[in-house]
Every structure is written in C-alpha cells, then in structure tokens.
Structure 1
Amino acid sequence: MTKYSLEEKDSFIVLGIGTELKSDYTDYAGINKEKADFWEAVKQDGSLDTLKGVAENDYIFAVNEAVNNKMMYYAGVMTDASLPEATRVIQFPKGEYLVVKGEGKTADELSNTLTGIAFGQVLPEAQHIAYVGGPNATVEMGERNGLVFGEMWIPVVRK
C-alpha cells in the first residue's frame, strides 16, 4: 500500500478562481487537459498572481468540488481576504484528512500523480476510512531539487 497519513485539520478557507470541468468524470485524459488549460489561463491572465498576493502562505491549492451537480475545479490560496475576481470561497471542514505526499516535475504532474494514488490506490484499499464528498485539494508546497512537492488533502470519515 502507498504511504499515506491521517491528519486532524482545523477548518480552513481557500479563495478560488474556478472553472467547470465538462469532460465525463471517467475521461481522465479530457479532465487532465481541461485542468492544464485552466492553469495556463490563470497564469497568463495574472489571476493566479492576484490570488498569491492575498495568500496567508506560499501554498497553491488545486481544488476539486462538486457544486450543484457540476464538477468544479479551482486555483486557490488559503486566506480570509476576498477579491472581486474570485469565483468561490471554499470552506474545508474541521476533521480528519487523508494526506498523500509526493513530488513531480511540474505542478500538473504532481497533481495528477497524487490524485491517482489517493483515489486509485489508497481509498479503494483503506478499509477503515471513506471519502464522503466535499472539496478535496492538491496542495503545491514548493520546489526542491528541481521537483515540485506537495500533498493531496481529502476529508474522510472512519468506517
């Protein structure tokens, strides 16, 4: 089994700029392309830099959330501030989180790797916890030795 941990986290808020993912939830290539195109757009138009300007820390969040039966995806930062260009204030609940750590050559690779490990390996194999919905996020925490490192945070409950 892949190495993971369970961590208790206080509730926190991520301010995000988002997009609706239109690909079928089983179309991983389509979803990954939509996510990559979205990140390119928020970097190019300056909105990611605007978010970073109000952030409490250096973490960059890639948040997945189901809203009104739509698959939403956000670039975000941890903050209590608000911005006119932000599309959502995402409330993460206090509680236990599945945390999977990893690294990748790019932020996209990190996110895709952690998502695959968390949802493809850890959650199906872990008999004592379950993901019951709510926002989950890949958290880009920095660079080390030429690689982007970070964690996937998924709220879980004990079975």
Structure 2
Amino acid sequence: MTNYTLVEKDSFIVLGFGIELKSDYTDYAGINKEKADFWKAFTEDGRLDALKAKATNDYVFAVNEAVNNKMMHYAGVMTEVSEPAPEEARVIQFPKGEYLIVKGEGNTAEELNNILTGIAFGQVLPEAKDFAYVGGPNAIVEMGQRNGLVFGEIWIPVVRK
C-alpha cells in the first residue's frame, strides 16, 4: 500500500471561495477541467493573492465538500475565527480528529491535486481495513515548492472501523 500516515489534528478553519462542480461525480475529466478553470480565473484576477493576505500560514488549500447535496470546490487559506469573512466566502470548519495524510509532489498545483486525490481515494481508502472516510470536507494542502516541484499533502478526516 502507498505510504500514508494517520495524524490527530485539532479543529481548524479554512476561509474559502468556491464553485459548485456541475460534472457528474464519476466524470473525473469534467471535474478536473472545472477545477482547473476555477483556479486559473481565481489566480489571474488577484483573488488568490488577496485571500493569502488573510492567512495564518503560507499554505493554500483546495477544499472539496458536499454542501446541500452539491459538490463544492474551494480555494482557501487557514485563518482565525475572529477574522470577519467576506460575504461571498465560506468559513469551512474541519473537525478535531484523525486525518489520513498522503504526501506528494507534482510539476504544478493541478498535477499535485490529481496525484494526491488518486492515491488517497483510488488506493489508500479502498484498501484500508482499520479506518474509513465518512464525509466532511477534505483538502489538498499546497505547502510550497522545492527542486522545481510543488509539494503538499491531502488531509482527509477519517474514523476508526
């Protein structure tokens, strides 16, 4: 099985701006295109830089969450509760508990996202015997760059079986 760790995390908050994904949940190419188009626009119009100014660290979060039976995707940053959120933003609460962590790197943030999602949801979770993902927000955390590659982790809340 792929290398992964289970880590206990305190609850944390991500301030995110997002879109509803319209592609069917099995249409990976469609979902990936929607996400890529969103990130391109969000980065080019300066909203990502403005969001980073509200962050408590240098990480950029790509959050996936089901909200009212809709697949949502957010660009976000970790922030403090006391910070007032802009009207169009969503405050995403990640629960205290155990998280599946898979580390990786890619040539781009989009490639990192695809690699980590594939490993976590395509390999680790289907093979897991002691824990399971039962929903809630999950995130690809872009942590920086080294040797010309983007590196980061996927954080998925899990429960013991």
Give the shorter-chain TM-score range: over 0.9
Write out per-residue CA displacement over residues 4-62 of structure 1, whole angstroms, 9 at most, x where no aligned residue.
00000000000000000000000000000000000001111111111100100000000
Per the normalisation by structure 1, the TM-score is: 0.98
- Quote how far apart the aligned CAs of 1:83 are: 3.8
**Matches of 1:57 and 1:144, distance apart in 2:** 18
Q: For the Cα contact (< 8 Å) 2:85–2:91, is it kept in 1?
A: no
Secondary structure of the residue aligned to 1:102 is strand
**Unaligned stretches of 5+ in structure 1?**
none
Q: For the Cα contact (< 8 Å) 1:47–1:85, is it kept in 2?
A: no
After TM superposition, list the pairs within 5 Å mapping 1:37-76 onto structure 2.
37-76=37-76
Query: Paired residue for 1:155?
Result: 157
**Matches of 2:120 and 2:84, distance apart in 1:** 31
Per the normalisation by structure 2, the TM-score is: 0.97
**Matches of 2:15 and 2:35, distance apart in 1:** 17
Query: Paired residue for 1:146?
Result: 148
**Matches of 2:47 and 2:123, distance apart in 1:** 34
- Quote how far apart the aligned CAs of 1:86 are: 4.4
Secondary structure of the residue aligned to 2:33 is helix
- Quote how far apart the aligned CAs of 1:87 are: 2.0
Q: CA RMSD in A?
A: 0.8
Secondary structure of the residue aligned to 1:26 is coil
Count residues in correspondence: 159
**Unaligned stretches of 5+ in structure 2?**
none
